[in-house]
Amino acid sequence: MIRKGMGLLALLVLAGSATGASAQTMSYAQAGALIAKSCGADIEKHCAQVNVGSGQLYACLSAKPGQVSAQCAADYGKVEASIAKRAAAQIDAFTICKNDAREYCKGVVPGDANLLDCLVTASKVVSRACTQVLTDAGWR
């Protein structure tokens, strides 16, 4: 019984990460809007004295599983996953795109924006990994 339950959970996690891999990350504005839309009522009702920052809101809502709407739980999960992915991509981008930058953006004046601009402009030739990480980072 327990085994079966765990299997289902693992499957759900796998399904979730598979979707996450192909889906585009959402913007921070979209993330904020989605939390407000799907969780606004639950927040006002169950976590009115909790601020959104530092994971406090997520922790508060998570601590009330039976009371928070399924839509809120699902969408907040999506938001957390998307934000984590975008944040990781922003950190990884410069490493993953290093070779492409060296090859295609030689004369670029130092500066993150210039380099990223070059990599995006040269997207026809830069590696798929670099293009993907820039997409996930929200930079193209």
CB of 120 to another protein, least distance (A): 4
Nearest by Cα to 76 from 92, 88, 90, 64: 64
Number of CB atoms found within 10 A of residue 47's CB:
20
CB of 35 to another protein, least distance (A): 5
**Which amino acid makes up residue 59?**
A
If the CB atoms of residues 39 and 133 are measured against another protein, the closer one turns out to be 39
If the CB atoms of residues 32 and 77 are measured against another protein, the closer one turns out to be 32
Buried b (16+ CB within 10 A) or exposed e, 68-107: beeebbebbebbebbeebbeebbeebeebbeebbeebbee
If the CB atoms of residues 12 and 45 are measured against another protein, the closer one turns out to be 45
Nearest by Cα to 77 from 101, 69, 100: 69
Q: Which residues bind to another protein, rule: CB under 8 A?
A: 27-33, 35-36, 39-40, 43-44, 48-55, 57, 83, 86-87, 90, 111-113, 116-117, 120-121, 138-140
CB of 18 to another protein, least distance (A): 24
CB of 10 to another protein, least distance (A): 28
If the CB atoms of residues 73 and 87 are measured against another protein, the closer one turns out to be 87
